[in-house]
Each structure stands twice: as structure tokens, then as C-alpha cells.
Structure 1
Amino acid sequence: MQKNINYKEIKKFDKTASQWWNISGPFKTLHQINSTRFHYIAKCSNGLFGKKILDVGCGGGILTEKLAKSGAKVTGLDISATTLEIAKTHALHQELNILYLQETIEDHSSHNVNTYDVVTCMEVLEHVPNPQSIINACAKIIKKGGSVFFSTLNRTIKSWLLVIIISEYLLNLLPKGTHNFNKFITPAELLTWIDATTLEEQNIIGLYYNPLTKKCILTRNINTNYILHTQRKK
């Protein structure tokens, strides 16, 4: 069976893998929005201490490490060996006990049913051939009552202007070609995929990042970046 992997995307991100922990480098925006995302996840999960968490598409471990520092038992999942080596090395230097695995979420779910208290899947769905396949796998590995978080980009004119034209081409906040507008996902599409699983929507919130102040806040406006909090049905 063909893997749910866009190898062109992996190759693209591997070119900048050494810069994952450069807070002024190509991943600086992720560093600047990290605390906002983390606090939302922690609040919706009623705390993270001692919980078993899976970070899907963990990359260099920016969110993964933040989750681990909260006292959670964290596994980071990615399919890029290059990126995972960066993540493992940085975690080692930070003296953090994180399990990093090179595996797709689909393969991981086949032997980890009902395993995790919390699953995070942040900025991943718009980079794979079949987003629904990832959502289905997340629904399998979460425990009953557990929370799954998906963050992605809405397919709107505003998101095209802000994320691609301004962020990638005018301000160089992201490497050019990071995003494909046609892969952006509307909330209606995401919720349709969610409805086909055992997951239920709990809350949807927008994420607003100001490149001038480098500040990130949560907002009711979901026409660009947004996070969906779901729970597995009891």
C-alpha cells in the first residue's frame, strides 16, 4: 500500500533541517507561535502533567519539547530521518526524555490503538496527499475521552495573501514554496472528515500572528490559521 507521504515536501524541508532551532532562521515563526499553541492545548486538555502525548509530524521538536517540559510523556513522530536526528540531538542537550520515531501515523496507529491521552497534529494536514487518512489514524490511537488537536490553514484569499504572498515572498518569514494554496483546508472540509470518525468537535479557534510585533494571539477569526480541538467519543 502506498504511504501517505509527499516526498517532495520531505526533501524541501530537509534542506533547512539544520535550522530548526535557529530562532531567527526559516522556522522562526513556529518558535514565535509555539507558546500560544501550547497554552491552548494545555488548557483544553485540563493540564498535561503525566499524560501520554503523541506529536504527529513533530519536525525538529519545537512543540514536542514544550510538551515534554510540562511533565508529559511525549512521543514525536516524523518521517524525515534528517529532521529526527536534529530533534533527538537537541532533546539530548536539553536533557529531555522524548521518544522520537520515524514512522507514519497510519503505521503507528496499527499497533498503538487507544494509547494516547493527547494527540497534536499541527501544520501537517496541508502537506500530505491524504489528510483524512491522518485524521482516521489519530482517532484510532487516542483513548476514549482523550483530546486530538489539528491546526492547519484555511483556503481563503486572505490566507493566500498573508501566508504565501506576504510571509513567503515579501517578508521572507518562511522559505518560498513552503505552502501550496490548493492544499489549504477549509473548516467545513476538516469537520466533514472528523464526522466520519469517533472524534467530536469541541472548539475551533483562530491563530493570529503579527509579523511586525512577532506576537501571536488566539482569535475568533478563523479565515487564516486555525486550531480544531476534538475529543474521542466516550
Structure 2
Amino acid sequence: MDAPLNVDAAELAKFSELAHRWWDPDSEFRPLHQINPLRLGWIESVAGPLRGRAVLDVGCGGGILAEAMARQGAQVLGIDMADKPLKVAQLHALEHGVAGVRYRLVSAEQLAAEQPGQYDVVTCMEMLEHVPDPASVVAACATLVKPGGWVFFSTLNRNPKSFLFAIVGAEYVLRLLPRGTHEYGKFIRPSELAAFCRRAGLEVRATRGLTYNPLTRRYALTDDTSVNYLLATVKEAP
């Protein structure tokens, strides 16, 4: 019997309902549009130029990061378990002539069984806090990347400050995100994510924090990992 899929039906429904607004920079997805240049720039500053490389974006949603990486010259596959956002991503790429990106409705674990060691770079951004078993996704990402390849994660820290900023502040006070976007209990401490990575054969090479200034309404990459943070890892050689 096949193993159950590592998905949360309520999470899929939540993002599917908003799928038609994914590429509206003034919609609920405005934060993703604003942080995308920062995370793309950091990925290339760590892993090097993406041009000509095979890249996988796990939990790609409507394709904001996947399409941006394709525009940098990468050959990108974006995967997700929500069908409506994938259709939005496919349509947007078609309408804007982005040829280097394609999309599939498949889980990271399923793809890992099909295509082990096929990707130079794997990204998994703002996704781990939305699945029942984040360690399983980390392990799948490690399987999918080539030895010596890079895997990037971003997620939310779990502490009182992150509850105050990421849920109370972002969802209820500043209304940067729809209410109910995140569940505090699913947030992941950097030490926990690093442990998942080590068990999967990934070595943590760099960590960055992502902060938001409500006065300037700008995001920035900093050394403060207390709320949002990114991890860069490398797959160890056999």
C-alpha cells in the first residue's frame, strides 16, 4: 500500500482559494512579490549563477520564484500539491513567454523516488510550515539534489517574538497576510531544521534572517533569524 501523502488538505484549500490572485502584486501575495528579489539574489550569491543549471522549486505555488529563476537562465521544474496555483503558474509563464519553466502536480517524496540526484539546486521556500511532516520534505529534497548541489529552505522560527510578529502583527495588525495563513505550532526552530538537514545528509553552509520594517514597508536580509529565516545547505559527497 502506498504511503499517505505528506499534505494538509486544509492548507491546500486555503491557497487554492486565492490562486487567481497569485500574480497580483497588491493582493494577499504582495509579501512574496516583495521578498522574491531578495531571496533570488541570495540564492545566486551563495550557489552561483543559475544559468544553465537544473533547478527544482518544491512547493512552488503560483510560480513567483520558479519563474524568476527561469528568467535567470535556469531550467526549472516547479512542483506543488495544489492544482489551482499550478494552473495559474503555467498560464502566467505561457502568457509571458517564459520557456525555461514547467510545472507538475507531484509531492517532493514522489518525485524523489522518480528522479534521485537530478538537480543542481533545490529550493523549498515558505513551504515546510504548511506540511504535517517537514522532515520528510527535507529528506526528499536531499535525495533530489546532486552530490555537491545546493538545497535552500526558508520558514518561520518558533518563539514568542515570531508569534507576535508573524501572526499577530502580519495577519491581524498590518494585514500583510490573510488571517489563518500560519499556525504557530507548525513553525520550526533553526536548530530543528538544521537537525532535519543533518539527518538527510545536508550540511548547513549559511543562514540569513528576513525582516520587515512597517514604517518603510520594506523587507531586508539581515542576521536576525528570530522570525523569518533562510538556510543554505549542500549535499555531502557519498
1:154–1:224: 8 Å Cα contact kept in structure 2? yes
Please tell me whether residue 184 in structure 1 is matched to residue 187 in structure 2: yes
Q: Could you list the per-position Cα deviations for residues 171-217 of structure 1 after superposition, in whole angstroms to 9, with x for gaps in the alignment?
A: 11101000000000001111111111111010111111224323221
Please tell me whether residue 45 in structure 1 is matched to residue 82 in structure 2: no
Question: Counterpart in 1 of 2:126?
Answer: 123
Shift of 1:16: 0.8
Question: Counterpart in 2 of 1:162?
Answer: 165
Percent identical pairs in the alignment equals 44
Shift of 1:94: 1.0
Q: Secondary structure, in 3 states, of the residue corresponding to 2:150?
A: strand
Q: Aligned partner of 2:107: which letter?
A: T
1:32–1:214: 8 Å Cα contact kept in structure 2? no
Q: Match for 2:107 among 104, 108, 115?
A: 104
Instruction: Flag as ranges the 4+ runs of structure 1 deviating above 3 A.
Output: none
Rounded Cα–Cα distance in structure 1 between residues aligned with 2:52 and 2:214:
35
Taking only aligned residues, the RMSD between alpha carbons, in angstroms, comes to: 0.8
Rounded Cα–Cα distance in structure 1 between residues aligned with 2:54 and 2:134:
23
Q: Aligned partner of 2:83: which letter?
A: A
Rounded Cα–Cα distance in structure 2 between residues aligned with 1:117 and 1:7:
30
Q: Aligned partner of 1:61: which letter?
A: G
Question: Counterpart in 1 of 2:86?
Answer: 84
Q: Match for 2:153 among 146, 150, 153?
A: 150
Shift of 1:221: 1.0
TM-score normalised over the length of structure 2? 0.97
Give the total of aligned pairs. Answer: 234
Question: Counterpart in 1 of 2:64?
Answer: 62
Rounded Cα–Cα distance in structure 1 between residues aligned with 2:92 and 2:215:
28
Q: Match for 2:224 among 221, 224, 228?
A: 221
Rounded Cα–Cα distance in structure 2 between residues aligned with 1:140 and 1:213:
41
Rounded Cα–Cα distance in structure 2 between residues aligned with 1:9 and 1:158:
23
TM-score normalised over the length of structure 1? 0.98
Please tell me whether residue 231 in structure 1 is matched to residue 234 in structure 2: yes
Q: Secondary structure, in 3 states, of the residue corresponding to 2:57?
A: strand
Rounded Cα–Cα distance in structure 2 between residues aligned with 1:232 and 1:3:
24
Q: Could you list the per-position Cα deviations for residues 74-102 of structure 1 after superposition, in whole angstroms to 9, with x for gaps in the alignment?
A: 00001111111100000001101211000
Q: Match for 2:24 among 22, 25, 40?
A: 22
